[in-house]
A and B are shown apart, each in its own frame.
Chain A
Amino acid sequence: MSELVISKVDKRFGKTVALDDVSLRIKSGEFICLLGSSGCGKTTLLRIIAGLEQSDSGELQLDGESLTRLASHKRNIGMVFQSLALFPHLNVSRNIAYGLKMRGVDAETTKTRVEELLKLTGLTGFGARAVTSLSGGQKQRVAIARALALEPRLFLMDEPFSALDAGLRDHLQQEVKKLQKQLGVTTIFVTHDQSEAMALADRIVILNNGKIEQAGSPKEVYQQPSSRFVAEFIGANNLFDVTIESGAVRFKEYNLGSSIVIGTDLRGTQTLTVRPETITLLPPGNSSGNSRGNSSGNSGAFLQGAVVMQRTIGALIEHDIDIDGHLIKQTMLQNNDYEVSVGDTVGLSWDWSQAWFLPGESG
């Protein structure tokens, strides 16, 4: 169980800024997901933590001990690579035992530890198998067992499931989460897959252009995004540039309601985010203020538009609704009482407690 403190870390590759003043405190036993699109700096940060890259400036401390100048092989950090990086010339047991052998652990202890890890990762009986003969999921388990063999202070995983099919990925995600809880090892998991981050993390750190955009629990980053990037990056979202004046919240010429009723003291131009699943579709006639400019409160439809796209995704139906050229996404369960078709005019409303004004986005 180890606490990692990252302070003001910068990294450039030529003219490209990979990390820009990154600071983060990772609590002991925490499961952190570094989430971002390609090139955002998440893998660079992981490699700096592992000692495979040197930061240009900044400091890393693990349980108060500085890692900044410590060589990778002396850090005792277990890492699972994107390519898994198993040793193709060694069998499963020898792959797992490699780190123990490097540390000079005696043969009997090594054998016992390897057996433990094989059992822990569900690979009992696979010890003598060549790693090249294993399936994708089995290889993942070997890579995890190998990284955990030395009882590392930190456990790093760099997009380990990116090459797997969805079913196996879900299964391994659950196993990793269970294993991490069981061992209590502080874990940093890099992914570009937001659903993977949501499923695994205690805390998600969202990176963009080498900077941390937001760090928070999956619920926080989903429901209370700190920036337009996070709001658009995490899940589907509807962003409205609204104006709050004289106690009224307006979007284009629609009056969305009273700011007192909505419960905000913000003023001026703001960005409002509303998740598609929190929007309710209403028949156009079933609204207290569906015509332009005269919505009065938090009941009934605030907006009105035409359904331009409808598609079924499993149990959900997704709609695109055109409101004066502004496309709104809405999702609802298939067994909803109110059914609409493409071309229908519908009213839209939502629960204001589920809506969120982006901080620092006022105009």
Chain B
Amino acid sequence: MNLFVPRVLGMTAFGILCVFFLVPLAFMVVVSFYKADPMAFYQETFTWENYQKFFSGFYLNVTLRTLWTTALGAVLVVILAFTAMLAIAELSRKWQLFWILVLLSLMCLSEVIVGFSWLILLSESAGIPRLLGALGFWDNPRSLSPSFGAMMIGLVMLGFSVVSLILYPQVAGRDKSIEEAAQTLGTAPHLVTLYVTLPIFMQTLIALTLTMFVYLLGVFVMPIMLGRPRDWTMTVMISDKALGDANLPLGSALAVIMLIITGVILLISLLASRKRTA
């Protein structure tokens, strides 16, 4: 078998990865050890100062907040998408197609448009609070954003359609006789999802949660548009430091640390998953 073409294609892909990812990454790692200089971005002087700042307390808090916020967002996205797909898979083919088209349409929307939509929906003047006020459910309606809840809604909205569309073929095409078998073996219908369907999909759901976790770590617009400054994630902080304060070395150091933390979390998850499978 002639492997010339696959090798050329493989080397090209590897070359593109080196040029557009590994080189900037290496540059970022190098810069993270430079000293900040407000007049010229940085001085090429080796220092641990940027990394020491991370452990100063503030950034450590932001990091922990970022990790649990994105973890919560990822778990919510997967739970909601999974339950929605279980419900949609029970509908007629016509209605399934309708909902898939809706999800595809949602996926086409940019992060900014989704953010603005929720900004309006949660605003005091035009959105849900006003509607609740008009219906008499809320005496003194006020804007629901910026808030942690609003930011979480934004994060969930970003991942929901993607995860739903990944899950749909598997959920719709699952062997339903397994669930029927569970019923004939004494499982009440309302417990079948918990005892059988969920465990069968668990590996997929864990993989999707990890994917969403990594994806949401990098989300920038939603925390800024819908969250309060105290809800902002590390991505916002890194951008703020690198671009707003022109402190590229600190921004780079924070980015490197986030990269390491993410890598470690994924590695632990992978090892745990392998152990579970074995």
Contacts and interface: CB of A to CB of B under 8 A. Distances in A.
B182 interface: yes
Interface string B177-188: 110111111111
Interface in A43-94: 50-52, 71-79, 81-83, 85-89
A99 B186 CA distance: 6
A149 B185 CA distance: 9
Interface residues of B, number: 18
A44 to B, nearest CB: 13
Most B Cβ at <10 Å: residue of A74, A89, A147: A89
A102 interface: yes
Contact of B199 (A52, A89, A149): A89
A77 B184 contact: yes
Contacts, number: 70
Classify chain A's interface size: 20 to 34
Chain B, interface SS category: helix
B184 A87 contact: no
Interface in B170-221: 175, 177-178, 180-189, 195-196, 199-200, 202
A96 B146 CA distance: 53
A85 B180 contact: yes
Contacts of B180: 50, 52, 72, 79, 81, 85
A98 interface: yes
A52 B175 contact: no
Q: Interface on chain A toward B: helix, strand, loop, or mixed SS?
A: loop
Nearest to A72: B183
9 contacts: A51-B184, A71-B183, A72-B184, A82-B177, A85-B178, A87-B200, A99-B185, A102-B187, A146-B185
Nearest 7 A/B pairs, CB to CB: A99-B185, A102-B186, A85-B181, A85-B177, A81-B177, A72-B183, A85-B178
Given A72-B180, A87-B196, A89-B200, 12 more contacts: A51-B183, A51-B184, A72-B184, A72-B189, A73-B185, A73-B188, A79-B184, A81-B177, A83-B177, A87-B199, A99-B185, A146-B185
Interface of A: 50-52, 71-79, 81-83, 85-89, 98-99, 102-103, 146-147, 149-150
